[in-house]
Every structure is written in structure tokens, then in C-alpha cells.
Chains A and B, each alone.
Chain A
Amino acid sequence: MDPGEIRRATTRIAHEILERNKGADEVALIGIAARGDDLARRLSEQIAQIEGTKVPVGVLDITFYRDDIGLHTEAPEVHETRIDFDVTGKHVVLVDDVLFTGRTIRAALDAIVDFGRARAIQLAVLVDRGHRELPIRADYVGKNVPTRNDEIVRVLLEEVDGEDAVVVEDPR
């Protein structure tokens, strides 16, 4: 995906979120670190442009909820979690860059439950690459990218990588 495609995909998702939730009043975005939080901030800006309402954005690190703690030689590295609003009663939209096995989303769902009882939790991803290992699907998808299991999908964003792009790398 090139920068134009990424911008059009996030714009469409912003519209879909508003349509589905009948406005922006009860919507909150929670991005999964890293890069999901940057995407969540972009969606928030686009929602503000369309609707004139600024929706709250949080960042979630799911490390402590992973199902593979103790399976690696070193404990997985921890990043910041910051959710400055009460999720209770909110329509929470989880935002991530790539949807793959679904294990990250499973962990994120568990984490959000610990912050309060959301009215609903939805999922927005920039890329759905398939190969799910859990019964999880996204509500909003930027682009479906068919991949082989061993390929690597990399999302690059201006904020962290200096450019916008989605690339599929073949390790073979």
C-alpha cells in the first residue's frame, strides 16, 4: 500500500466507525502499541474533521496479557499503557496495524475488561493478512492482503518510520 491508499483506507474506516456507532459521542479509540496507537490518533483526527467531535485516544500495551510469557528466554519487553478516560459505557474501537493470528487481540480484549465495562468493543485494522488461530474478526479493515504464513507484513508509518507504506517481505 502506498501513502495515498493508507490515507483513503483510514478515511473510509473513520466514516464507517461514525456510521456504525451513529456519531462520535460514545466512541473511544484504543491503539495497540506500537503503531496501533499512531493509527488511532490519525483516526481520531479524521473523525474530528468529519464530525467536529474529538474522540478520546488511549494506548494499550498487551505484554502482560500475552499467552507466551515464559516461553521465551527473556521476558518480553514492556511498553507504556495510558488510558486517561473511563471505558465504562463507551463504544471502544481497538486499533492495530496488522491482524494475523488474533492472539494480540485476545490479549487486548482481556486487558480492556480490566479497565472497566465497555458498552461494546470493535476492532479496526489497517491490514488483515489472514491465518487466524482464534475465532476473531475485524469490524473495519483497511485492506485484505492474502499472505503465506511465513511472510512478514510490515506497516511503516510517518510518525515512527518517516514514511507511510505497507510491505510484504518474503523470508525465503
Chain B
Amino acid sequence: MNTHLLSMHDLSSEDVVRVLDTAESLREVGTRVIKKVPALRGRTVVNLFYENSTRTRISFELAAKRLSADVINFTTSGSSVSKGESLKDTALTLQAMGADAVVIRHGSSGAPYQLTKWLKGSVINAGDGTHEHPTQALLDLYTMREKLGRLEGLRVAIVGDVLHSRVARSLSFGLVKMGADVTLVGPPTLVPPDAPAWGVQVSTDIDAVLPKLDVCYMLRVQRERQRQQFFPSVREYARLFGLTRARVDTLPEGCVIMHPGPMNRGVEIDSDVADLPQAVIEEQVTNGIAVRMSLLYLLLGGGGEERGDG
């Protein structure tokens, strides 16, 4: 595996399987009396979050702590960043303090890549601008494999604001890599023009797509990233692309409903739909801890010189 995880393109399909299989073993740790193993004792993981986050930051923090790593949470408010420190200087400061891995979320696409040029340790992308969010994609792949038993040949629709969604990009790349059949659904203004080059299909008609799915993946409408009017009104969006109760009834038996959170209930997904048993949104969150443990273990558990002893 690579030293860093910036994009799903950094992982081969064998790497993805390894991450998911290791996560499977690590999930058991969460069921023990003492939910902690000493695998990464003495390593330091820094959570460097330039954007707000609840689940991803807490998930990474728990994952690192369950592996016995030391965790430092760095958020921009209340730090020297609010005094104008640059990303580079912040990174070099963390390096000087001995960080073995930096988990970064940043509003600018490519910020994690910049970090890799300045840091010796591993860099893990926890979401950069509208580029990628590979750990979310991995936990989604894990959840799909767990629920449906396979990834190859799965028919998945990713519905909504694809243009601003780093989750949609990472997940599409991951699913295509694993041999799934992906359809992006959304208004033409919110689907990137280069999407067909990812190896996915594109549709503007959600009702035509829903009846032949294994997974219906709803995206959050990211109004904070939308710098212009992409659709006439939220009500119209909800009517044309929202997952309503009536639309759920057209899904095949056994189809799983997913959402990366945080949800806009009543916009992309109806409130009662989000609480249905086939909606596995909370399980995605739980699986996120095991998948992130797996990644931290695989990225930080190696790195030594090979020696000949057993």
C-alpha cells in the first residue's frame, strides 16, 4: 500500500479488499470488554480539520484511540491558524512535534497533496474541497459488501448534488474499481460534465433508475458550497430528486438506502424514509470506526526495515 491515502486512485482493488477484510477483524475489538488493542502504541495521529466535521473527526479519533495511538485534535478556531499561520507552517510545526500521521480536512481541493510534500509521515485525506473523501467511500464499500455480500456487479445509484460531492467522486471511483455498475442521478447542473469518463452512467430521471437498484445512495445538497443557483427551489429539487416514501416503494426488495450524513431531512431524503429499516445510515457511521482503524493500522503498522526473525 501507499504511504498516504489521498484518493481512491491510490488503492488497487487488492488494497481495497485488504482494508475491508482488516476492518472486518477490527470490528470485533468494539465488542470487547476493553475496546482497545495496543497495535499503534506510541504513535501520534493528528486530526487537522480546517472545515467543520462531527462524524469524521470523532470517528478518526475513536479509531486511533482504539488502536492505542495518541491523538491530537487541531481545529482552526482557537489555534494559530486564526492568527494567520499558513498550512505549510502549521504542517511543519506538527512534524516538529513528531506526528506519525496527519488526517486532514480542508476546504481546498489538493491541500492533502500539498501536505505530503512537506511531511515525512502518512497523510490521510478526510475530505478536501470538492475533490475526494476516500475514507467515506471505503466505509460505504464495507457497508455494501456487508449488506449485500459482494461489490462486483452491484447496481448503485448516487443521487443528488454530485458536482459538489467529494463523497460521490471517491465512491464512484471505488465502486468502478470493484466492478460495480454505477449511475449518477441529478439535475444536469449538478452532475459534472466529465462524469462519463469515470466509467459511470448518468441519468436525470430518478424514477427510471430506482426499480433496478441494489443500493440507492442519496447525497446531501451542499448549499454551503453552491456559489450560484443550481436549481429553482429546494421544494422543486425535493419533488424531482428527493427520496420520498412513494419512491421507496418502487425500489426492489432488499435494496439498501444509504446517505453519508449529515442529512437534510425533507430535501434529498424524507424524514420517515431515513428511519426505515432498509436505511443503513447509522450502520455506515459504526462501520466507519472499524474501516478507519483498518486504514491507520495498515498505513502505520508497516514502514520498518525487513528483518529475518519470526
Contacts and interface: CB of A to CB of B under 8 A. Distances in A.
Tell me the interface secondary structure of chain A in the complex: loop
Contacts of A160: none
A61 interface: yes
A82 B22 CA distance: 14
Interface in A34-73: 61, 63-66, 69-73
Interface residues of B, number: 30
A116 to B, nearest CB: 5
Contact of B304 (A64, A71, A78, A113): A71
A115 interface: yes
A65 B33 contact: no
B25 A78 contact: yes
Contacts of B34: 113-115
A74 B299 CA distance: 8
B25 A61 contact: yes
B36 A72 contact: no
B25 A75 contact: no
B306 interface: yes
B303 A65 contact: no
A74 B307 CA distance: 12
A158 B297 CA distance: 33
A25 interface: no
A21 interface: no
13 contacts: A64-B67, A64-B297, A65-B38, A70-B300, A70-B302, A73-B304, A73-B306, A75-B300, A75-B301, A76-B301, A78-B26, A80-B25, A115-B34
Given A79-B25, A115-B33, A73 B40 contact: no
Contact of A69 (B28, B301, B305, B306): B301
Among B21, B38, B306, max chain A CB count under 10 A is at B38
B32 interface: yes
A104 to B, nearest CB: 9
B302 A110 contact: no
Contact of B307 (A64, A71, A81): A71
B297 A75 contact: yes
B33 A75 contact: no
Given A114-B33, A115-B33, A116-B33, A78 B22 contact: yes
B305 A71 contact: yes
Contacts of B32: 114-115
A162 B215 CA distance: 41
A72 B304 contact: yes
A39 B37 CA distance: 25
B122 to A, nearest CB: 12
A81 B301 contact: no
